[in-house]
């Protein structure tokens, strides 16, 4: 019999809130995190807005000397994981830190430092690199910093699968714990892609919204006039823990992680399969892993990026998996508020799903103005305002470039 895994701590640093409670409160208020980009001069860029983390100074959380050795994605990771670890109480004396792991996700990693160092090389023509260039840039370094900060000596690594990265981190953590390899894992993701290279690169792919006249309404999943995603930055962390270990130390329990599934589209470099073939395989695998039927799901936090093709493909997959149940459960796309945090998206969306289960309330999809005739009107897409309902189970999807799909399911904890 597999061990049961529960969530005992959460932390968030997002475009709409710098702590988990602030983030959840902003979701329920329908707050948009979008605004003009402040991190670089956008004069020559097609997209001039994004969902930036606001009022964040890393030196308020991290020693100034250490800050200089960290790319922004690692700074965000440390702050969110600190909140989750403190929230869980797993840093208490007597807890065996040899059996606590860290699995941290990022789709891109240290993009800021990469751009800075390569720009310096191009301008100076002399190979003078910062000795922290590589340690700041590599994707696995955030997991390393979290483990060193807290003395966590269990399994430690990164997951990289574009926008499915964080969900895969949760699935890996889930499997390590239930197989008895760890007692707990700090899992999550962070991303800091709002830079010349990040925005310019996604602009070149025509993936980003260019609604510069109305940034706060630009992320509009399921709307007929959606024109691309809004880039976001931030981090989310959860502490996953073996149930008996959590009970033995008197930990509070938010919910249970019931299962997860992964798949590949095997279809296209960036576009999802139009019928959602890979997405449906991922959701079916998660249901099987959780020993659940489609009728047992109450809420889906969709990948829902606000791209013309992606939104309809995901809804096609949901209809394929859930049949008539697809029109009874609630669906919402919280990227309408946070923007798309790429490799960290699944982390903050897992927190939204966990809180929906805990509080019995579904956060909304904002910015819906015009119905899309290609979308079945029977879907309950939770437009404009949150909806109170019993949420015993919540499913969260993450799909990434390369055809990577990962789905996790959270459920109410019952003794």
Q: Are 406 and 161 in contact (CB under 8 A)?
A: yes
Active site residue 245: no
Sign of CA dihedral 37, 42, 43, 48: negative
Q: Rounded to an integer, what distance in angstroms lies between the CA atom of residue 402 and that of residue 342?
A: 13
- Residue of 163, 273, 368, 404 with catalytic role: 163
Q: Rounded to an integer, what distance in angstroms lies between the CA atom of residue 272 and that of residue 375?
A: 16
- Residue of 245, 340, 368, 404 with catalytic role: 340
Dmax (CA) of the chain: 64
Active site residue 51: no
Q: What are phi and psi of 356, to 5 degrees?
A: -65, -40
- Residue of 245, 273, 303, 368 with catalytic role: 303
Active site residue 163: yes
Catalytic residue ranges: 163, 303, 340
């Amino acid at each position: 019999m597999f061990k049961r895994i529960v969530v005992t701590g959460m932390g968030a640093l997002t475009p709409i809130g710098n702590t988990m409670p602030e983030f959840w409160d902003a979701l329920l208020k329908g707050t948009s995190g979008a605004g003009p980009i402040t991190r670089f001069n956008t004069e020559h860029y097609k997209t001039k807005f994004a969902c930036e983390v606001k009022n964040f100074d890393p030196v308020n959380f991290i020693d100034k000397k250490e800050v200089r050795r960290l790319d922004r994605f690692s700074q965000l990771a440390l702050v969110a994981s600190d909140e989750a670890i403190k929230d869980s109480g797993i840093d208490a004396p007597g807890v065996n830190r040899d059996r606590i792991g860290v699995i941290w996700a990022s789709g891109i990693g240290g993009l800021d430092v990469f751009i800075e160092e390569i720009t310096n090389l191009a301008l100076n023509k002399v190979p003078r690199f910062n000795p922290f260039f590589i340690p700041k840039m590599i994707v696995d370094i955030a997991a390393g910093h979290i483990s060193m900060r807290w003395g966590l000596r269990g399994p430690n690594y990164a997951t990289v699968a574009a926008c499915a990265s964080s969900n895969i981190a949760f699935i890996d953590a889930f499997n390590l714990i239930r197989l008895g390899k760890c007692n707990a894992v700090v899992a999550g993701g962070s991303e800091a892609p709002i830079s010349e290279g990040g925005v310019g690169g996604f602009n070149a792919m025509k993936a980003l919204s260019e609604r510069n006249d109305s940034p706060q309404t630009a992320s509009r999943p399921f709307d007929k006039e959606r024109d691309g995603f809004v880039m976001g930055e931030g981090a989310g962390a959860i502490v996953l823990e073996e149930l008996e270990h959590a009970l033995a130390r008197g930990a509070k329990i938010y919910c249970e992680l019931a299962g997860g599934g992964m798949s590949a589209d095997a279809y296209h470099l960036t576009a999802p399969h139009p019928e959602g073939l890979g997405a449906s395989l991922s959701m079916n695998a998660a249901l099987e892993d959780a020993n659940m039927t489609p009728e047992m799901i109450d809420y889906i936090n969709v990948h829902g990026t606000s791209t013309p093709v992606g939104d309809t493909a995901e809804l096609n997959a949901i209809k394929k998996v859930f049949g008539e149940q697809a029109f009874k459960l609630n669906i919402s796309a919280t990227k309408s508020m946070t923007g798309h945090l790429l490799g960290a998206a699944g982390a903050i969306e897992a927190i939204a799903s966990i809180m929906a289960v805990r509080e019995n309330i579904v956060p909304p999809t904002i910015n819906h103005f015009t119905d899309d005739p290609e979308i079945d009107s029977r879907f309950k897409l939770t437009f404009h305002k949150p909806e109170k309902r019993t949420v015993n189970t919540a499913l969260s999807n993450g799909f990434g470039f390369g055809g990577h799909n990962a789905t996790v399911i959270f459920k109410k904890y019952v003794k």
